[in-house]
């Protein structure tokens, strides 16, 4: 990415503050940014913040003689290697879909000869409205690239799709857009994440502390590297990463069925903390305390081992990666697990601390050829490094 340049159009949405972080992250990667701040965008972030971060003047006026004299709007629209719209509001998307050009941002979008990447951000109802959907389809047909929007809680308090993609997701998409094809282009990836819940009765279940963060980070990194990615997830409080197909499940048996349905895949990453056991019988009605204080006895039966099943099945992915969550003898257990489950690699992590639910992880990659110790890093970085390692592996074979 080093030496490339981006024209960033900042629309008027609460997510505009994330665009400041985006500029910073691009600068760290040696990408220069010129910014157009719309009138509405300037209600959310100040021209001074944008100018300080880009190190350039901020463009905001189509009808300014002095600006036109310095760099005309046509020249500006073509000055960068890529045009990025973040946040792409419903208004900006509509203008571009219809070819309106009544301010600097919309004029630049109509005049540019470069690829445009949009990161939509709006309320869920707006995103799901027929007109926004229509504009989205039109823009995609016209060759506009998209990152997000993600699911999650909105600034307005509602929940759903319409949150702007995170800066690191936008950067990864920009990287792919600038560099042509991602290293995992053409590869199909299946990732599982989160816990499974095994019902006891209509109101209770057995589960574990898995937050899903590591699996979601891996799925996001694989998608950002160009892989067509399916994420089968147990119940977690996370938004789907950008450009990932999310399949939500509850129990281990549902996770197995959804994973089998997602095959064939080139690579499987089993990051889910699958419950090893489930109650033998699920009570149809809520279990009640008895007057004689006899506690219910819950008999457990073993769940299918999804990793072992997929690793020995007919549609075995070329690269099968499992996790080993251990509290003791981490490496010995991981090495044994690799052969027992028929996996190619095992990512071993010590979960005796606050790894489950935390944002950082320290893992070891156990393969046929040995053990790689990775330093402690964020779960997002583990995801990116694993995606890069997978790309390397596919390049070799
Ligand atoms: N796994 C699975 N299906 C299960 C249990 C685990 O696919 N029913 C997968 C996990 O997703 C992980 C790997 O197997 O990739 C190892 O999980 P872990 O919980 O560490 O191992 P277990 O098989 O549960 O073994 P043990 O509890 O004895 O350590």
pLDDT digit string, tens, across residues 372-382: 999 888 898 89
Over residues 307-350, the pLDDT tens digits come to 999 999 999 999 999 999 898 999 999 999 999 999 999 999 98
CATH superfamily name and code, 5-177: Flavin prenyltransferase-like (3.40.50.1950)
Q: Provide the pLDDT for residue 179.
A: 74
Confidence of residue 155 (pLDDT cuts 50, 70, 90): confident
Q: Provide the pLDDT for residue 183.
A: 86
Q: Give the residue whose CA is nearest to atom 12 of ligand 1.
A: 323
What is the Å distance from ligand 1's center to 305 Cα?
7
Q: Give domain 188-396's CATH architecture.
A: 3-Layer(aba) Sandwich (3.40)
To test the pocket of ligand 1, the residue of 275, 305, 317, 351 to mutate (highest count of ligand atoms within 8 Å of its CB) is 305
Say if ligand 1 is within 6 A of residue 198 CB: no
185 vs 129, residue with greater confidence: 129
Output the six-digit token pair for 151. 């699911």
Percent of the chain at pLDDT > 90 equals 75
Say if ligand 1 is within 6 A of residue 365 CB: no
Q: Determine whether 131 is an active site residue.
A: no
Atom of ligand 1 nearest to the CA of 306: 7
Domain limits of the chain? 5-177, 188-396
290 vs 94, residue with greater confidence: 94
Q: Do domains 5-177 and 188-396 have the same CATH topology?
A: yes
Confidence (pTM)? 0.70
Atom of ligand 1 nearest to the CA of 302: 8
Interior CA angle at 391 toward 386 and 394, to 5°?
Answer: 125
Over residues 259-271, the pLDDT tens digits come to 999 999 999 999 9
CA distance 168 to 147: 11
């Amino acid at each position: 990415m080093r030496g490339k340049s981006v024209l960033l159009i900042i629309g008027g949405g609460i997510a505009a503050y994330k665009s400041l972080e985006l500029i910073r992250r691009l600068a760290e990667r040696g990408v220069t940014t010129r910014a157009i701040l719309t009138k509405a965008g300037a209600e959310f972030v100040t021209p001074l913040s944008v100018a300080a971060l880009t190190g350039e003047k901020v463009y905001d006026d189509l009808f300014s003689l002095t600006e036109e004299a310095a760099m005309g709007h046509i020249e500006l629209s073509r000055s960068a290697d890529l045009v990025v719209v973040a946040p792409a509001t419903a208004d900006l998307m509509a203008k571009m879909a219809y070819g309106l050009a009544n301010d600097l941002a919309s004029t630049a979008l109509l005049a540019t000869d470069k690829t445009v990447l949009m990161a939509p951000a709006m309320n869920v109802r707006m995103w799901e409205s027929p007109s926004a959907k229509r504009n989205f389809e039109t823009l995609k047909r016209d060759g506009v690239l998209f990152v997000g929007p993600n699911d999650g809680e909105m600034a307005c308090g509602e929940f759903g799709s319409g949150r702007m993609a995170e800066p690191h997701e936008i950067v990864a998409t920009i990287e792919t857009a600038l560099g042509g094809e991602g290293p995992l282009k053409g590869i199909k990836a299946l990732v599982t994440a989160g816990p499974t819940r095994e019902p006891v009765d209509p109101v209770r279940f057995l589960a574990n502390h898995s937050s899903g963060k590591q699996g979601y980070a891996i799925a996001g990194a694989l998608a950002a590297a160009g892989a067509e990615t399916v994420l089968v997830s147990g119940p977690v409080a996370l938004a789907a990463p950008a450009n990932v197909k999310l399949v939500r499940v509850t129990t281990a048996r549902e996770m197995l069925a959804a994973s089998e349905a997602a095959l064939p895949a080139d690579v499987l990453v089993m990051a889910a903390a699958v419950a090893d056991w489930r109650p033998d019988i699920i009570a149809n009605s809520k279990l009640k305390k008895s007057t004689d204080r006899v506690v219910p006895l819950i008999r457990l039966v073993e769940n299918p081992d999804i990793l072992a099943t997929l690793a020995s099945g007919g549609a075995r992915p070329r690269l099968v990666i499992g996790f080993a969550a251990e509290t003791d003898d981490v490496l010995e257990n991981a090495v044994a697990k690799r052969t027992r489950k028929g996996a190619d690699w095992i990512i071993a992590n010590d979960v005796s601390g606050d790894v489950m639910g935390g944002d950082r992880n320290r893992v070891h990659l156990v393969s046929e050829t040995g053990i790689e110790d990775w330093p402690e890093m964020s779960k997002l970085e583990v995801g990116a490094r694993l995606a890069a390692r997978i790309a390397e592996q596919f390049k070799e074979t």
